[in-house]
Structure 1
Amino acid sequence: MVDFKYYKTMAKNLLAQYIWEINELNRSEHGLTLTELNERWLRNDKLNDRKIPLIRKTWYAHRQEIFYQFGIDIECNKRTNKYYIKYKESIGQPDIQNWLLNSFAVGNMLLQGKDMKGRILYENVPSGYDYLTDLIEAMRENKIIQITYCGFWSGKKATFELKPYCLKVFKQRWYIIAGNVSYESTWIYALDRIEDLEITTKKFKLPKGFDAERFFAPYYGVSITEDDETTVRLKVYGKQVMYIRLLKIHESQEEIKTTPEYSIFEYHIKPTFEFEQELLSHGEDVEVLEPDYLRKRIEDHIVRMGRRYGLQLKEK
């Protein structure tokens, strides 16, 4: 009988090793030879307690998998025999690489920091990593997957087939954007709600012209809506101006008016539930000026919130 738990554990350990290898190369200003990388690997008691050396054949396979799974290209300087991370200049790639490398650096630090226990605090977020490598493999080979999914609101489980189009991270949770085979429509699924996943032998084709960045460009978050794209103007008060100026709510953000008391920011977006929640999270420091229907929605949220606290507010 096949021990699936064993293979899943092995896959996780291998993924952790990939992350460690990427992080070590990223930290090294001039790269590392295989001998130098192997010396560090043999000193790693956390991931390599059995002291298994990193041989050239294994390293070659790891470099290929790192490229396939993360799009990170590790090359060798023939003059020095040192391996280094080659940065791509294609559109969007540097941002993706920087995000990955920063994430890997933090993850590796936490993994290695046994002596720092209790001094490094991080958010305990739902796991979405169990099926991440499987999904990347299915996306790379354009293979249909079968998942068992537990709906967040209904709590009911269902098994169905999906065409995995792309992955997205939002507020530290992973989501898969996929075509549902049964309904021929695009849906979004949280990875931490997946209870089982199998890569089938059936192939699929990406929708013609599908581009993940373009697909999500008019949205904030992972909800999609049939509403038309609109211009949203926010009036931001006081010190919150600096916060929003530095941490954009959406890529389309422009500061169109600046005064000592407030600034007005403009967005071209399809307002979603997550966008409304983001605006509400800033409290009294953010006011929606337009469109009117979004301003009314925020007003209604405030009225209902006031009633929770016994305030007598009237809806317009």
Structure 2
Amino acid sequence: MASNKNALIRYKTIDQCLRNTMRTWTLNDLIDACSDALYEYEGKDIYVSKRTIQLDIQMMRSDKLGYNAPIEVYQRKYYRYAEEGYSIMNIPVTENDVKVMNDAIQVLRQFKDFSLFKEMDGVLQRLEDSVYSSQKNNRAIIHLDKNEQLKGLLFIDPLYNAIQQKKVLKVNYQSFKAEKASTITLHPQLLKEFNNRWFLLALVKGKETTLALDRINSVMEVENTTYIDKAINGDVYYKDVVGVTVSNTRPQRIAFWVDKANTPYVLTKPFHKSQRLIKYTDDGAIFNILVIPNYELERLILGFGDSIEVLKPEKLRKRMIQKLENSLNRYAIKKQTQL
């Protein structure tokens, strides 16, 4: 994503340069301009090679992005637009472009409490007006599972903005285990959705901490405090877990058997991207995954009831046995009580 963003910044910069006909532009001039623009946008030096700008010009000349830019070389070293007044920013949005964006909007607007998606409606309307088209049927035909009664959704916006603007926050928070709420100063890093719940990954006293949004009571910005940006990549951070609970331990190879009736479900919806089918058995199949055991994995396994059996590691197997025995005892106790 970062490389695509940098390319767009370079295209825009080259376009601005070539539109300025008050001076001449060599390849080195374009390299310098793009380097300056990337530094301005990203706040750091990003190397721009001669080959990169040559490929950018080639891309702008092509129809891959719909530009077909009339960039020409004259006097063997200067670049300019052959058409006066041309700009890649003047490329019209097609009706198909609007349709594609409209389809995306219908999915995204289901996140009602995220103002970023609400604002996209206005963007879409302006795009529709620009090509004199309208989408007559705005009924969403993709339905996302969501719980609108879930607490904490109103904090998505301020947390998102704080992460984007690199702001330190004070959060009034009460976990399910705590008797009363406490105020936490934190550096928000990432918003994570899992199983219809939202979580905040933040830096608290130098330690990466996960907070459930439905346990947050209030959020307040902290002034005059330097934000610590860990630049966390969600795909990397959560790659070894199911869910959101990440511990400082090594991933383990977890083997489990699933009965024949549920094997197709596990095959088509893997527990984790590391899942492998080991072999089929007469009554089901054996799989394994390479993950860090956590609460969410246990909940997932228990959700399959008697259709699954953890084979190893032994520690997790014993933990599942203990939980199932506790459940069985609870049923037995209630039955005796009712009698």
TM-score tier, shorter chain, comes to: 0.5 to 0.7
Work out the percentage of aligned pairs sharing the same amino acid.
23
User: CA distance change for structure 1 residues 186 and 296 in 2, over 3 Å: closer, same or farther?
Assistant: same
Deviation by residue 1:6-59 (Cα, 9 ceiling, x = unmatched): xxxxxxxxxxxxxxxxxxxxxxxxxxxxxxxxxxxxxxxxxxxxxxxxxxxxxx
User: CA distance change for structure 1 residues 83 and 179 in 2, over 3 Å: closer, same or farther?
Assistant: farther
Q: Is the 8 A contact 1:128 1:173 kept in 2?
A: no
Q: Which residue of 1 aligns with 2:264?
A: 242
Cα separation, 1, equivalents of 2:271 and 2:161: 32
Q: Which is greater in Rg?
A: 2
Q: Which residue of 2 aligns with 1:174?
A: 198
Supply the RMSD in Å over aligned alpha carbons: 3.4
1:306 has 2:328 as partner: yes
Cα separation, 2, equivalents of 1:84 and 1:123: 31
1:205 has 2:228 as partner: yes
Q: Is the 8 A contact 2:277 2:286 kept in 1?
A: yes
Q: Which residue of 1 aligns with 2:212?
A: 190
User: CA distance change for structure 1 residues 302 and 80 in 2, over 3 Å: closer, same or farther?
Assistant: closer
Q: Which residue of 1 aligns with 2:31?
A: none
How many residues are matched? 216
User: CA distance change for structure 1 residues 139 and 86 in 2, over 3 Å: closer, same or farther?
Assistant: farther
2:189 is paired with a residue whose SS is strand
1:230 has 2:252 as partner: yes
Offset at 1:170? Answer: 1.0
Deviation by residue 1:264-289 (Cα, 9 ceiling, x = unmatched): 11100001012112101101111111
User: What TM-score does the superposition give when structure 1 sets the normalisation length?
Assistant: 0.60
User: CA distance change for structure 1 residues 84 and 153 in 2, over 3 Å: closer, same or farther?
Assistant: farther
> Structure 2 matches for 1:60-71, cutoff 5 A?
none
User: CA distance change for structure 1 residues 127 and 103 in 2, over 3 Å: closer, same or farther?
Assistant: farther
Structure 1 residue identity aligned to 2:180: K
1:160 has 2:179 as partner: no
1:203 is paired with a residue whose SS is coil
User: CA distance change for structure 1 residues 122 and 213 in 2, over 3 Å: closer, same or farther?
Assistant: closer
Q: Is the 8 A contact 2:257 2:308 kept in 1?
A: yes
Deviation by residue 1:210-268 (Cα, 9 ceiling, x = unmatched): 32221111111122223321100111112111111112211211112124531111100
> Structure 2 matches for 1:114-153, cutoff 5 A?
123=147, 125-153=149-177
User: CA distance change for structure 1 residues 122 and 137 in 2, over 3 Å: closer, same or farther?
Assistant: closer
User: CA distance change for structure 1 residues 254 and 86 in 2, over 3 Å: closer, same or farther?
Assistant: farther
Offset at 1:127? Answer: 2.8
Structure 2 residue identity aligned to 1:153: K
Unaligned runs of at least 5 residues, structure 1? 1-74, 88-97, 312-316
Deviation by residue 1:123-165 (Cα, 9 ceiling, x = unmatched): 4541332111111111112111111112222241111211011
1:262 has 2:284 as partner: yes
Structure 2 residue identity aligned to 1:78: I
Cα separation, 1, equivalents of 2:289 and 2:187: 32
User: CA distance change for structure 1 residues 85 and 187 in 2, over 3 Å: closer, same or farther?
Assistant: farther
Q: Which residue of 2 aligns with 1:104?
A: 108
Q: Which residue of 2 aligns with 1:54?
A: none
Query: Which of 285, 288, 300 is 1:278 aligned to?
Result: 300
Offset at 1:305? Answer: 1.4
Unaligned runs of at least 5 residues, structure 2? 1-87, 113-117, 119-138, 334-339
Relative contact order higher in (CA < 8 Å, ≥ 6 apart):
1
Offset at 1:310? Answer: 2.3
